[in-house]
Structure 1
Amino acid sequence: MFWTKNIWIIHVVGWILFLSLPLTIMSREPEDSQLLMVLTSIFFWLFFLIYAFIFYFNLHVLIPQIFLKKKYLLYTALFVGGFVLTYVSQPFENLIFQKFSRSSMQYRPEPGRPPGLEPRFEQNPPPRPEQPSAFRRPAPRVDFVSLILFVVVWVVAMALSFSQQWRLSEKRVILSEADKAQAELSFFKAQINPHFLFNTLNNIYSLAVTGSEHTAPSILKLSRMMRYITDEASGNYVPLDEEVRSLEDYIDLQKLRLSNKTRVIFEAGELTMHVKIAPLILMTFVENAFKYGVSNRNESEINIRIKSSEKDISFFCQNQVFEKKTDLQRTGIGIANTRKRLDFLYPDQYELDIREADGFFTVNLKLTKV
């Protein structure tokens, strides 16, 4: 993440390493004062600008306009052409080495210097007397430094471009997953609304027929919960106390249909202020607990606990499992969707442990504070 935001640091370090190669070669040739002369020479920086132009022209023009448009033959031809041009022009040999190497210097005694003391070098020595034609022209020298640097800057530009394309593709995947997670949340809302709404309305109808004093509070809780699900839970995060209040309303409404054989324990300790949580991220587990942890013949217990601190949120849900195979596919989809939402909203910031053993289904979820 740091390098993607500070890509200029990579460029600066890369060019420093690039300049170190010709300087390292030249450091074996001249004296220390002449190394400084290399650095301050216009020919040295002309050499640098040539390769900088090759690098950025390849990165911003040739690769996006030719290579990424699958014009591979043309791109290869341009690479070969550039390589041949570098071979012929020999930038390092002509701009740096021949001008500053010890072999291009001659000894010239300084006026007044006693004989035998170290002479200094002189650039551009006078031409020697003409030699026979057999020795007039030495064998052409291959400028390997220029060729190697050409290949390096070309390949590095391609690698950097491919890295940028990979990051863009990864970003598109993340955005696609985010849209998918949001669509799955909307689908989950659409699923829970009618399923839960019909059962709760039937229970409230029964309360109304019998004249129960719980009728009006139940209608208020249902209305408040539906408003939370459809309106307030549209963002990625909501205050934890609002999520807990919605779970309390859901649990109280579920209790309307339970017999005395089922015991529900819901504990939400003192909640830390300003803590937020992904909306309805806990609802799937609570819904499954009431769906598979309730029996009309056997006694059962559903235990739900929520704790929060300055750093994290802890959720615990446990229920007995009775043989009930209806809606198993939807349950699996609901838990899978919840995992995807956790991966997107809490990357590397959550721990989810789901176990089914000894007739109990247990969920432990720990979320890092956002």
Structure 2
Amino acid sequence: MFRAKNLWIIHLLGWVLFMSLPLTIVSREPDANFPMLVLKSGWFWSFFLVYAVLFYGNLLVLTPKLYLKQHYAAYAAVFVGLLILIYVSQPFEKLIFRKFRQEQGREARPEMPRGGFRNGPPPGLPPGEEPRPMPERGRAVDFVSLTLFIVAWAVAMAIRISREWRQSERRAILSEAEKAHAELSFFKAQINPHFLFNTLNNIYALAVSSSAHTAPSILKLSQMMRYITEEATEHYVPLEDELACLENYVELQKLRLNAKTKLDFNVQGQPDGVKIAPLILMTFVENAFKYGVSNHRESVIRIAVEVTGSHIQFFCQNRIIERREDVERTGVGILNTQKRLDLLYSGSYDLDIRNAEEVFTVNLKLSGR
């Protein structure tokens, strides 16, 4: 596709083709210099100027101001009016065909005057028979001018409509991208405060009990907040940073677990050079700790991340402890994560969520960036 700065090349080639049409029509002369004689004629360039004004007037003014503004009646009226003007003025017939031949002395033989011949009848006329005057020739239709007008008009109209269609398509793509970016920002804004709220509650409990784990927990939270505020604002982040944030979160959650809850957290593979959408995995892990921990019932939380090349496989499973608080918020968090996956990994991820026999299981496979 030509860029805008190269459009003049297209216009130049188009006008060369346009000028070749009338030259082809009148170039039936045996003289090899005939085309050059036509090109040097001022009448030919006057003819060219007429059609250039019609073409660019339609391209730059009439089509955008009338047709694209849905003033179809006015646009059709202008077209019909100009068509009639071309029919009456006959630019090809008068500016090229007749004028050029007059300049070259190629006018046809004069017609016989109505009053007869000054020097007597022409040879071969029978004696006593009066010569008949030549009948007047009616107006000839200048089909060349009409055809060129319709072609120039249609091409200008098509170019302008095509240009507007491409711009509309480009605006639609940009609008969709801005919409997607706004949705992502909204999803993150919903996830991050909820995540920080739970973590701060855990650290508060440690501080109240004067636990020795308070300072390390604050450091882990500080690292997580730096990650969320500085890196998680991007569409994609290094997988190793995402896993470090996930590990810090798990370590903070372990501080509040009792003997009835077992945790299995495992990371395999080399995450170097792989990128992932931030906080995609965090939603499922947070959900597991919120609804899979109990002080009275045995439960197991299993979290596994396996990295193979640029492919990421995530597994999270927890027992469902009967709890009714914040059910709606959790559903919204998972729904938002699914929407983020649709926006950022459309066609390149596989999410399987199962809720059966008091066990909630998440299997996620996606291709890293």
TM-score (norm 2): 0.72
State the match for 1:220 in structure 2: 219
State the match for 2:262 in structure 1: 261
How do 1:266-345 residues align onto structure 2 when only pairs under 5 Å count?
A: 266-267=267-268, 269=270, 271-272=272-273, 281-288=277-284, 290-291=286-287, 295=292, 299=300, 301-305=302-306, 314-320=311-317, 327-340=330-343, 342=344
- Secondary structure at the counterpart of residue 319 of structure 1: strand
State the match for 1:117 in structure 2: none
How many residues of Structure 1 are paired with residues of Structure 2 in the alignment?
A: 334
State the match for 2:358 in structure 1: none
State the match for 1:63 in structure 2: 63
Which is worse superposed, 88-97 or 53-62? Answer: 88-97
Give the residue type in structure 2 aligned to 1:76. A
- Given candidates 98, 107, 116, the residue that maps to 1:125 is 107
**Distance 1:48-1:234 versus aligned 2 partners, 3 A rule:** farther
2:288–2:317 CA contact under 8 A, matched in 1: yes
Larger radius of gyration: 2
In structure 1, C-alpha distance between the alignment counterparts of 2:254 and 2:156, rounded to whole Å: 65
2:206–2:214 CA contact under 8 A, matched in 1: yes
Give the residue type in structure 2 aligned to 1:266. V
Give the residue type in structure 2 aligned to 1:165. E
Percent identity of equivalent pairs: 46
How do 1:68-147 residues align onto structure 2 when only pairs under 5 Å count?
A: 68-98=68-98, 123-125=105-107, 127-130=109-112, 135-147=134-146
Give the residue type in structure 2 aligned to 1:192. I
User: Residue 18 in 1 paired to residue 18 in 2?
Assistant: yes
2:285–2:303 CA contact under 8 A, matched in 1: yes
State the match for 2:349 in structure 1: 353
1:130–1:136 CA contact under 8 A, matched in 2: no
Root mean square deviation, CA, Å: 3.9
1:286–1:317 CA contact under 8 A, matched in 2: no
- Secondary structure at the counterpart of residue 62 of structure 1: helix
**Distance 1:210-1:323 versus aligned 2 partners, 3 A rule:** closer
Give 1:3 shift. Answer: 4.1
The superposition leaves residues 281-312 of structure 1 with CA deviations (integer Å, 9 ceiling, x where unpaired) of 2422442355369855565533324577xxxx
The superposition leaves residues 178-201 of structure 1 with CA deviations (integer Å, 9 ceiling, x where unpaired) of 332333233223211232122212
The superposition leaves residues 106-126 of structure 1 with CA deviations (integer Å, 9 ceiling, x where unpaired) of xxxxxxxxxxxxxxxx64337
**Distance 1:140-1:191 versus aligned 2 partners, 3 A rule:** same
**Distance 1:219-1:28 versus aligned 2 partners, 3 A rule:** farther
Give the residue type in structure 1 aligned to 2:8. W
Give 1:88 shift. Answer: 1.3
**Distance 1:136-1:246 versus aligned 2 partners, 3 A rule:** farther
1:244–1:268 CA contact under 8 A, matched in 2: no
TM-score (norm 1): 0.72
**Distance 1:47-1:290 versus aligned 2 partners, 3 A rule:** same
- Secondary structure at the counterpart of residue 125 of structure 1: coil
1:302–1:318 CA contact under 8 A, matched in 2: yes
In structure 2, C-alpha distance between the alignment counterparts of 1:218 and 1:42, rounded to whole Å: 89
- Secondary structure at the counterpart of residue 141 of structure 2: coil
State the match for 2:38 in structure 1: 38
**Distance 1:198-1:330 versus aligned 2 partners, 3 A rule:** closer
2:303–2:315 CA contact under 8 A, matched in 1: yes
Give 1:67 shift. Answer: 3.3
- Secondary structure at the counterpart of residue 364 of structure 2: strand
- Secondary structure at the counterpart of residue 272 of structure 2: coil
Which is worse superposed, 33-42 or 296-305? Answer: 296-305
In structure 1, C-alpha distance between the alignment counterparts of 2:180 and 2:155, rounded to whole Å: 37
- Secondary structure at the counterpart of residue 261 of structure 1: strand
Give the residue type in structure 2 aligned to 1:160. I
Give 1:267 shift. Answer: 4.5
Give 1:56 shift. Answer: 1.3
